[in-house]
A and B are shown apart, each in its own frame.
Chain A
């Protein structure tokens, strides 16, 4: 985790005990209501992802990777974003970040290609995994009805 954070981020910590004024200033500006809270912020200062409350290491790492993907997506770097989303699904399949990442991987592929098949493929993938997640419900609108062969025998 240490290496991942040091390599991928410029990390900043604000402690409510030791930096009360800074905590108040930034916390108020960014709407922080609880600790721990982690924000992934792009270099223009825009928040791209937020984690509130403690998470075990694997879940936390998955959320950070998801945040990096969201930042890429926001910059219209859809291929890079898709790669990161799929990394979340591959590396952290049991986390809550995984179904969210699977959903957005489909959106990123669609944005990159313009091919709506990317969305229907994603809906199909949700029929095989994460069926009870809210992301499966969101993707269900992309599902295409099964096609009946025109020349099916009677």
Chain B
């Protein structure tokens, strides 16, 4: 996945932010070295 994406690490925090900003959460499960 491209670098430069503002990844967070907490789904719970992301859901709260998505609610307040009227967005969706993109949850990315990976095995690639980060």
A residues in contact (CB < 8 Å) with B: 1-2, 5-6, 8-19, 22-23, 26-27, 30, 32, 35-45, 48, 64, 67-68, 71
Interface range, B side: 20 to 34
Known: A2-B5, A6-B6, A43-B18. A12 touches B30 (CB 8 A): no
Report the minimum CB–CB distance from A92 to chain B (whole Å). 17
Among B9, B17, B21, B22, max chain A CB count under 10 A is at B9
Number of cross-chain contacts by CB at 8 Å: 128
The majority secondary structure among interface residues of chain A is: mixed
B residues in contact (CB < 8 Å) with A: 1-11, 14-15, 17-19, 21-34
Check A5–B26 contact: CB distance below 8 A.
yes
